[in-house]
Amino acid sequence: MPNLNQITLRYVKVGPYSSWFSICQDGYSLNNAPVPGIDNSEVLARINEFQPLISADGNYQNEILKNVFNIGLKKAEAKPLWITPNSIRRHRFTTEDKGRKRAAATSMGSIDYTLHRQFAGLVNKGNAHKLKFANKYGLLKCQAVHNLVFRNPNTGKQVQMGESLLWWQEEITDLASCLKLWDMVVSEDKELKDIVLWHRDGIVLRLEEGDVQLVRRSNMNLLTRWNKGDTKGPALYYLSLVSNKRLANALTPGISASDEPNEVCVYPDSLLSAIWFMFVLEVSGNIRLVKCDVCGDYFSSQDPRAQFCSTRCRMRNYRKSAARKSKRRR
């Protein structure tokens, strides 16, 4: 008997995220200022004028500050880096001509399902890898302030604001920690019992970045969901809490204009939301990702026997095992 309160969509497509259309045509580079060549206080003044960073009650509007500005400026001594666009020229994607190919490439079927794995994989990688990711997919959260145009007084060059690398690192770490927990759930890792800790008054998650009180006296009724000592259930519950928070108000359904008009398409509001949506699709079993035996990259496949991401990796593996065999023969 179907649940009448729910509609099951068989084919939900993922459309391009909004900032997809703001990817800098000339790429990004690492800079020690949010806007290359412009003094930080001037940047702050211009932004404040455009979109007040301080609300009427005197508090900072944290979202903007956190995402694009504050983290880097606070740690001024540490000389924070920024991922900044090299020009104000943007890729233009139209529904016709060759632009169509790229825009259409983000709809389900050919979309890169591994966005979240690629992003989390940057956790222990150098800045060059993060820059490469930005060059491919753009900034994490293009906002209105990113449209502000500054003119460098010396060169006359028009420039725009980038994003703090420290903030990128924070976001990467958050996702990587969730994926690590998820991988432990999937592989039924024994060590999960050292992370999901049951105690007299509830459940604590002992994560690398600190303890999370998942169940406490105030929400003890949750405990009836799981058998005492269960680790998988509480871990999944925690992952759902985190991703639901990330995706609240972040996805807009619509009808895809370029494909079959009867298909529902979900449009993420930013690259960051698209990344978290991919994570949710993996956790919910809507996509299945496999780690390549040769290069370690993730790829999506429905075939349970799939081992390699590409023909290249398959061939490399073949040559390796052939070499091993001939060695043994000798």
Distance CA 276, CA 281 (A): 9
Shortest CB 297 distance to Zn ion, Å? 5
Shortest CB 291 distance to Zn ion, Å? 9
Distance CA 173, CA 230 (A): 26
35 near 161, Cβ under 8 Å? Answer: yes
Piece of the chain touching Zn ion by CB under 5 A; list 51-59, 72-80, 286-294, 320-328: 286-294
How many residues sit in the footprint of Zn ion (CB under 5 A)? Answer: 5
Shortest CB 313 distance to Zn ion, Å? 3
Q: Which is nearer to Zn ion, 242 or 306 (CB)?
A: 306
Bridge-based pairing of strands 12-14 and 264-268 is parallel
Piece of the chain touching Zn ion by CB under 5 A; list 47-55, 191-199, 253-261, 284-292: 284-292
Q: In the range 131-170, which residues lie near Zn ion by CB under 5 A? A: none
Other beta carbons within 10 Å of 149: 11
Q: Which is nearer to Zn ion, 87 or 310 (CB)?
A: 310
Q: In the range 291-330, which residues lie near Zn ion by CB under 5 A? A: 292, 294-295, 309, 313
Distance CA 274, CA 254 (A): 15
Q: Is 27 exposed, middle or buried (0-12, 13-18, 19+ CB in 10 A)?
A: middle
* Structure tokens belonging to residue 156: 């006359």
By CB under 5 A, is residue 33 in contact with Zn ion?
no
Binding site for Zn ion (CB under 5 A): 292, 294-295, 309, 313
